[in-house]
Amino acid sequence: MLKKVMIRIMAVAVIVSGISSCFAQGAGRAFEDAIRSRATGSVEEVTAKFMDAAGQTSDKTQKGFVLSTLAEFLMEKEEWAAAADVYQQVMREGADANIPGACYGAAQAWLMMGNHERAKELCRILKAKYPTSGIEEFANQMKADAPDSVHGMLAEYLAEFEGVTGETVDVTTLPAAEVPPAEVPAPAESVPAVASAPEVVTDVTAAEPVTEPAAEKAVEAGRPRITLQLRGWQSDLAGRIESRGMNLNLSDETNIDDQNRFAMKAAWNISSKNQLRLDYMHFDHSGFLKKNMTFDNLNYGFGALLNIEARFFDVGFARLIRETGDVAWRFLFGGKMSHAFMHVEQRISGGFRSGELTQDFPIPYLGFEGQGKINANAGFNASLKYFTVEQGDTAGDLTDLDVAFLIGRDYAKMPSDTEWYGSLGYRYFLLRGRTTDETVKVSYAGPTFGVESRF
């Protein structure tokens, strides 16, 4: 226990000394700005600020400290590949004292990406080149608390290389973040930032340069590229249809009940901030009239059969505008195509009387979305799309509110190529299309349930 406390104290001492040295130079103000940005800034914004602070100092110790702080932030955000890339930049541009901790941090990042071989290679280099750094003692202490953690696995790797000397290590073979990780299951625990290895001063030769960083590529590495949703929707039907002499209130003047239908959504991350979105819904409600009415110069009475079918398809984009903590905020814009079809039919003495109405109506939309974590196993997604337009005899209104809670395993601790979540939520949808001769207003509302997959 005493050893563990001493290790933590040593880590804090290094951090404090790093902060002091940074604040003594012009980079201090930029570093403070970068530290503040972690609370509200996106990953890209925070990364840019830390890189700017690192670029304002020529002191290797200061530069290594600033970059190490950035790497720990990226580990907190589960940006494993980006963190590995920054840790390797520390090894290239930092002081000798920064290298052991950066090497250990990069091994953690590669392990979280499921690449055990690269993590082992870093442990081999660390054990051979920096045997007195105190890193292995730190890993062993962490293993004692959590044998199945990332640190526990790295402690085992370090133990495997007992007796390896620096002469057998080619430091120029340090892995680069551009190389895709191997398809190997990752260990069963994520890496808390507070458990990062201490940076300890050692009298060793710094590692040779490795490949150039690729932060732009690394930011997206390891993130799901495609999201698919399939949800059942227990929806009621409301609204009004006015056309050819008919004025029908769908909720009060028909006996159409709630029905289970389905909705599908897909999202493709085309860049770090932009998504292409597709959304499809299909409804088919049937019932009978509860009043007498006239449609297209024909009379229909109580009990006439009524079928209303509606299909909606939209294509849109989502633009990331801010990340605050575990919540991402996006701006939505796109267009929705609607197709509505009504069929009414009644038996008469001479056979059947029937009439049909079809309306196709496109409408653009704008909106916002919030998506984030509630805890390690649960998250939420809430979006609102809205638009209203009126020009001459044509008008349209769209409101689409969708709230869902997602439940799944802790993929930060148990990474997988495909993530699965259960979904439970509520959706309200209203569309009104008006032309010279007719108005169709339909709304659907009710609970949703289904699955979501990300890969």
Beta bridge partners of 23: none
CA 234 to chain centre: 27
Query: Which of the four pLDDT bands, split at 50, 70 and 90, describes residue 224?
Result: low
Q: How much is the average pLDDT of 194-220?
A: 39
| Residue that finishes a domain, picked among 218, 235, 259 | 218
Angle at 170 between CA 166 and CA 171, to 5 degrees: 90
Average pLDDT of the chain, as a whole number: 80
Q: For residue 430, give both structure tokens.
A: 């209203």
pLDDT at 291 over 70: yes
CA separation for the pair 406, 417 (Å, rounded): 18
Give the residue with greater pLDDT, 289 vs 272.
Answer: 289
| Residue that finishes a domain, picked among 218, 247, 268 | 218
Query: Which of the four pLDDT bands, split at 50, 70 and 90, describes residue 194?
Result: very low
Q: Are residues 56 and 27 in the same domain?
A: yes
Structural domain boundaries enclosing 434: 226-454
C-beta atoms surrounding 229 within 10 Å: 22
Q: Are residues 231 and 200 in the same domain?
A: no
Q: Are residues 160 and 239 in the same domain?
A: no
Contact 357, 293 (CB under 8 A): no
pLDDT digits (tens, 9 = 90+) for 418-428: 889 999 999 99
Q: Are residues 363 and 408 in the same domain?
A: yes
Please provide residue 167's backbone torsions phi and psi, each rounded to the nearest 5 degrees: -65, -20
Q: Are residues 230 and 303 in the same domain?
A: yes
Q: Are residues 207 and 242 in the same domain?
A: no
Contact 430, 399 (CB under 8 A): yes
Instruction: Output the CA torsion 201→205→210→216 (10° steps).
Output: 20
Number of folded domains that form the chain: 2
Q: Are residues 237 and 92 in the same domain?
A: no
Q: Are residues 49 and 121 in the same domain?
A: yes
CA 344 to chain centre: 46
pLDDT digits (tens, 9 = 90+) for 352-383: 899 999 989 899 999 999 999 898 889 999 99
pTM here is 0.57
CATH at residue 109:
1.25.40
Q: What integer pLDDT is reported at residue 386 of this predicted model?
A: 95
CATH at residue 263:
2.40.128.90
What are the percentages of helix, strand and coil residues in the chain, rounded to 5?
Answer: 30, 40, 30
Q: For residue 89, give both structure tokens.
A: 């930049």
Q: Are residues 203 and 275 in the same domain?
A: no
Q: Are residues 196 and 237 in the same domain?
A: no
415-425: b or e for each residue (b if 16 or more CB lie within 10 Å)?
Answer: beeebebebeb
Q: What integer pLDDT is reported at residue 363 of this predicted model?
A: 92
Q: Are residues 280 and 362 in the same domain?
A: yes
Query: Which of the four pLDDT bands, split at 50, 70 and 90, describes residue 166?
Result: low
pLDDT at 277 over 90: yes
CA separation for the pair 99, 111 (Å, rounded): 18
Q: How much is the average pLDDT of 287-305?
A: 92
Query: Which of the four pLDDT bands, split at 50, 70 and 90, describes residue 235?
Result: confident
3-class SS at 88?
helix
| Residue that finishes a domain, picked among 218, 240, 269 | 218
DSSP secondary structure letter of residue 56: T
pLDDT at 13 over 70: no
Q: What integer pLDDT is reported at residue 97 of this predicted model?
A: 82
Q: Which amino acid is at 81?
A: A
Q: Are residues 343 and 388 in the same domain?
A: yes
